[in-house]
Structure 1
Amino acid sequence: MGASQGADGPAGLPRLALLGLAALLCCSALPRFALSTEYNYTEALDGSYFFYEAQQAGPLPTWNRAARWNGGWRDASFLNDGSDIGKNLTGGWFDAGDHMKFQLPFGWSASTLAWSMVEFPAAYGPPSGSLFQTVRRNLLFAADYIVRSHVNASDVPGENVYAAQIGDTDTDHARWCRPEQCPEIQGPYRPTWVADRTRPGADIVGEAVASLVGVASVLKMENPADPAIPLLMTHARQLYAFAKAFPGTWEIPAGDYPYRYGTHKWQDDMLWAAAWMCRAGEGASYCADAVSFWNVGSNMGIGWCPGMDWDNAFNQASVMMLGMADRFSASFLTTVRTRLDYNLNLWHVSTVCTQPPPNTDSNGDGLVDDGHICYSPKGFAHESTWGTARITANAAALKLAYSKYLPTNPEDAKRQRCWARKQMRLMLGDWGRSFVVGFGCNPPVRPHHSSTMCDRDYSITCDGNTAADPRPNPSVLRGALVGGPRKDDYYVDDRMDYILNEVAIDYNAGFTVALAGLLQLSASTPDWDAYCGTAPTPITCPWACSSCDSGTQPGSNLASQRSNCYSCVNARGVSKSWQCHACVGNATYVASQGQHCLSCVSAGADAWACQSYCTDLSSDIAVLPSCTSCVADPAVRSAGPWRCSVCMAPSVLAKGAAAVEACMSCVRSLKGPYACAVSV
């Protein structure tokens, strides 16, 4: 006789065991929860450039994937930039979660992205491919801003003027707002500061030169006769001559707000610029300058650092020079390699961050001081508290690039590559969660970023109260690397914790190089685990399902709600599973609200929209299907799902479910929502 069947399944199998089995199946039986032993570096690489598109200021190009007309949330912003000096300085990238435009991190980021293309070209595919074209468009967007920032271009060095910064940090950081609406909130004060012969800035200008030559080099990979190349190179030569004739680090004029991206030295930026000019075949004088700047820098603090960033390009310039054996002497390149060996091997220590050696815990917090490299209990490398993932990703980028130039030392090349892979895997998910927005298992959903925290409906106020809202950001800043965990492996996904959850254009620059390096090197390393001598680690995300269990609210249909949450996770995938969890994690919801929220998210809508415009407004099961169907409708999502909420107004709800459905049907036809509400 077969086993009898009960309401909970086969007799003798407890209800909780069934639920546990369901979770196990959700997490292990479906391919998307046990993908492989390697992360999808192509997806992460593409996401990184999506982040840069989300950071665009000024009029947005039609191809911007974060733009409202492409299903995103962004639109034109700060259209008067530069007007105070009579110039059009719209465009460029916002620096971080704010709306400042700093040329130093901007130039370093753009030149570093170009470096990823020339150092790891195979990662981007053929010039006709979609990824290559995505990068090309983004780099041209950056180069266009740099060219227009060269507000007075001349072959006479002392006549050049370059816009060094736009925006007042005190004003900008005082308020949260949509970039599209900030001028109305902050007022007209958005000054432009420049570098000229009286206030030189070889650091900022050097990075601009590197960017222009880098973008020209990328264009040459597709078409050596591209008409933009001569223009970019002309500006590069003029700016290089200006910076060389008037050296020094840029300073804001006395009396103005002093915050800026200050740099310790300018020699590394000019080294980076000279190395690019030398690589581009601009002449022996630039190669000689590169040697001179390298020799000077090698005897300064900038020459004895383990990484790279907007404040120090010495190591990445050194790696680039190793690829130009035909332009530098063998003895010089041996010296360069010796220094890189020393600097990059500083990462290979055994210090545990929570076990500080003597004299490395000056504040008594039980953690190794900044400036000393250490490893968290989970193995994450730390050199600083602020932006630790950025610093470690930059080191990974350097190590992967440097490993290309160690043909006679394959063991050291392996050591550098395997260290980089391990650290990048920790960022992508091996730590226990992803630190990349919109990617992998349990990614951050509350990055410290103003435009994504604002409702997509521009008529809804976005301010400091919005910033304090604990719900996930309504828009997903896909591809952005957040600051990352502390040295003791503490991390909280909190928008207001800007140390752990800051995002910035320089955070993603080295991270992008490292992704490209892993992607290109994977072609010759099909089995990284065998190569590195590590045990295979399947990429799983049990969190995606266990959060359905822990978040589900008590009710008579507990198992059904969990099942619907699993189905939602399966429909949206690991990287979007947090949207499903938002539906079942609201303690104020009755079962019907959670179920319809899940249905809405499963259909492709954002959880924020499903909740804010439908399930937060009513628990009436008779009206929720009409609303969630409206929010999930692709045409409505593109036009603005806030339209559906008009039909959930008390005046319409009072007329009953039929009136709500008629109103929603009207909205789905893209008629004016307020007219739809009045007509029913």
Structure 2
Amino acid sequence: MQMARIFSLIMLIFCVIVCCLSVTSRAFTSRDYYDALEKSILFFEGQRSGRLPRDQRLTWRSDSGLSDGASYHVDLVGGYYDAGDNVKFGLPMAFTTTMLAWSVIEFGSSMHDQVSNAKAAVRWGADYLLKAAATPGTLYVQVGDPNQDHKCWERPEDMDTPRNVYKVSTQNPGSDVAAETAAALAAASIVFKSSDPSYSSKLLHTAIQVFELADKYRGSYSDSLNSVVCPFYCSYSGYHDELLWGAAWIHKASGDSSYLSYIHSNGHILGADEDDFSFSWDDKKAGTKVLLAKAFLEERVEEFQVYKAHADSFICSFIPGANDYQAQYTPGGLLFKQSDSNLQYVTTTSFLLLTYAKYLGSNGDITSCGSSIITANKLISLAKQQVDYILGDNPEKMSYMVGFGNKYPMHVHHRGSSLPSVHAHPSRIGCNDGFQYLNSGSPNPNVLVGAILGGPDFSDSFTDDRNNYRQSEPATYINAPFVGAAAFFSAQNGRY
């Protein structure tokens, strides 16, 4: 009898342990990752500005910003709103386009039937950037006064705040935003090289022109435009990283060796010798070094061995126990950089880990982190941990992608999502009238499917509150690199 009780107790403990494990760790399937891929691309339709196409799938959105640029005699209709507001910021929009294009370039073959939607997302951004660069010697870099926009809570379809247009030029330089725009156009040209060669050629030609503007007339757009871009999207890292990044992408797109010579000659001045441990819309150094490391790995261009070394340092910074290890992780295992929109760093890092793993795996190489040998599979495993955390394998048991899984944030800091759609409420909702919806405790009436939010804090806690913009606001540059990561895992279920 005593033995039976002991056995029953052991089985009870065993069941509790199994149940706890099933709660704390979720195994996602390739179908789950495909669902995340599809939704991560769909999100961009919710961020569209301009005249929406007939095949628009997020139908609660409607046309907006149809006169953007008109008072300045330039067509700036289209593009993306960066996050939860109604301003079109050129620097994060260009970076978003670059990362969407890079996602297609590296992982398009894993996107199944979603590759056409991913290309459409790239094209929506690239079409706008072509318009922004249509005037020689000038690049239009912003539509909307953010200081005025942020005083209102209104749908993009109702905007009545000033749609001021801002530009950089030969007289007012903006090398950072111009070089990032050049990178975006060059990367997009690769995406369309086979399917639409004339469009691809136009993208590359414009990229070269814009890069010349960036390089010949050097200066930061934060200095030229000041309060209309700061503190929103100040170029905190300066413009050197974008010049190197832009040159790398134009070389990749064109094969023109003069850009390799440019990188070799200017690399020291532009920060090639600096290690950097984050990758974002502002700081491109780590991404550039991973991109250029491929030239060394595949072509053994000795001048670019330094980029392989710096790429290794970047990768090693995320590996616990490695010599260069300096990353911080939450108790639940999430990479943590800062309290505002932390997931932007998680998605960019995950993308670079997978891209570098691909480069290493294709060439039979490894990364050495001191005495530790790091294989491609190790990098994939680390990226998977981050992707899975975002999708719901975390202490809150919450997906930070809206519309994915059974539990996800319902009070997203996003004007269009939080206000009734124009279909449900055809009459205009004024600037101040919208704040009742911002402050409402009700869930957003329109689901911004696929949006990845800013995410939890350092203790893995998340407050689903619309006013908590640091955690609850989505952004295009959070989603863009995640598209590539989700594509990778949807094809291989985590196996390279």
Which residue in the other structure is 2:23 paired with?
Answer: none
8 Å CA contact 2:31–2:490 kept in 1: the answer is: no
Give the 3 Å change call, closer, same or farther, for CA 176–393 of structure 1 in structure 2.
Answer: same
* Partner amino acid, structure 1, of 2:244: L
27, 30, 55: which one pairs with 1:63?
55
TM-score by length of 1: 0.63
**2-structure distance, mates of 1:109, 1:254:** 21
Deviating more after overlay: 115-124 vs 249-258:
249-258
Aligned partners of 2:280, 2:174: CA distance in 1, in Å?
18
Unaligned runs of 5+ in 1: 1-26, 28-33, 67-71, 154-159, 352-370, 526-680
Partner of 1:163: 140
The 1-side partners of 2:63 and 2:103 are apart by: 29
For residues 254 and 266 of structure 1, do their structure 2 counterparts lie closer, same or farther at Cα, with a shift above 3 Å needed?
Answer: closer
Deviation digits for residues 528-560 of structure 1 (CA, Å, limit 9, x no counterpart): xxxxxxxxxxxxxxxxxxxxxxxxxxxxxxxxx
Q: CA deviation at 1:236?
A: 1.3
Of 60, 63, 67, the match for 1:80 = 67
Provide the alpha-carbon RMSD of the alignment: 2.5
For residues 208-254 of structure 1, give each alpha carbon's deviation from its aligned partner in whole angstroms, at most 9, with x where no partner exists: 1111111111112435xx32122212211211211111122113657
Q: Which amino acid aligns with 1:477?
A: L
- The alignment partner of 2:157 has SS state of coil
CA displacement 1:400-456 (0-9 Å, x = unmatched):
111122223284222211111011101101011100000013011111100011112
Distance 1:245 1:465, change over 3 A: same
Matched, 1:95 2:82: yes
Counterpart of 2:337? 383
Partner residue of 1:655? none
- In structure 2, the residue matched to 1:119 is 106
Tell me what 1:430 maps to: 393
Shift of 1:348: 2.5
1:408 counterpart (365, 380, 394): 365
Given the alignment, which residue of 143, 150, 159 partners 2:126?
143
The AA in structure 1 aligned to 2:337 is E
Q: Distance in 2 between matches of 1:330 and 1:35?
A: 41
How do 1:295-334 and structure 2 match up within 5 A?
295-298=268-271, 303-325=274-296, 330-334=301-305
Return 457-466 or 233-242, whichever deviates more: 457-466
Query: How many Å apart are 1:257 and its aligned residue?
Result: 4.3
Q: Hey, what's the Cα distance between the residues in 2 that align with 1:385 and 1:247?
A: 32
Aligned 8 A contact 1:308 1:315 in 2: yes
Q: CA deviation at 1:38?
A: 5.7
1:447–1:214 distance in 2 versus 1, CA, 3 Å = same
Superposed CA deviations along residues 474-523 of structure 1, whole A, max 9, x for unmatched, are 11111111011110121111111001111111111222232233334548
Instruction: Kindly indicate whether the alpha-carbon contact (under 8 Å) linking 2:293 and 2:311 is maintained by their aligned counterparts in 1.
Output: no
The answer to whether the Cα contact below 8 Å between 2:295 and 2:301 also exists between their aligned partners in 1 is no
- Report the structure number with the largest CA radius of gyration: 1
Q: How does 1:643-662 map to 2 (within 5 A)?
A: none
Does the Cα contact within 8 Å between 2:296 and 2:302 map onto a contact in 1?
A: no
Aligned to 2:34: 42
2:132–2:139: 8 Å Cα contact kept in structure 1?
A: yes
The answer to whether the 8 Å contact 1:216/1:229 transfers is yes
Could you tell me how far apart the structure 1 residues matched to 2:94 and 2:226 are?
A: 26
Contact 1:382 1:392 in 2 (8 A): yes
How is 1:267-666 mapped onto 2 (pairs within 5 angstroms)?
Answer: 267-298=240-271, 303-325=274-296, 330-349=301-320, 373-406=327-360, 407-409=364-366, 411-431=374-394, 432-456=397-421, 457-459=424-426, 461=429, 463-522=434-493, 524-525=495-496
* CA shift for structure 1 position 340: 1.4
Contact 2:145 2:163 (C-alpha < 8 Å) held by counterparts: yes
- What percentage of residue pairs aligned between the two structures are identical? 27
In structure 2, C-alpha distance between the alignment counterparts of 1:91 and 1:173, rounded to whole Å: 20
Q: TM-score, normalised by structure 2?
A: 0.85
Q: Specify which structure has the bigger relative contact order, considering alpha-carbon pairs within 8 angstroms and separated by 6 or more residues.
A: 2
* Change in 2 beyond 3 A, CA 1:254/1:195: closer
Task: Give the equivalent residue in structure 2 for 1:248.
Answer: 219
**Which letter maps to 2:44?**
Y
Q: 2:234 aligns with which of 246, 262, 266?
A: 262
User: Which residue of the partner structure matches residue 31 of structure 1?
Assistant: none
Task: Tell me if structure 1 keeps the 8 A contact 2:292–2:308.
Answer: no
Asked if 1 retains the 8 angstrom alpha-carbon contact of 2:317 and 2:326, the reply is: no
Closer/same/farther in 2, CA of residues 254 and 404 from structure 1, 3 Å limit: closer
What SS does the corresponding residue of 1:163 show, helix, strand or coil? strand
The answer on whether the counterparts of 1:81 and 1:190 sit within 8 Å (CA) in structure 2 is yes
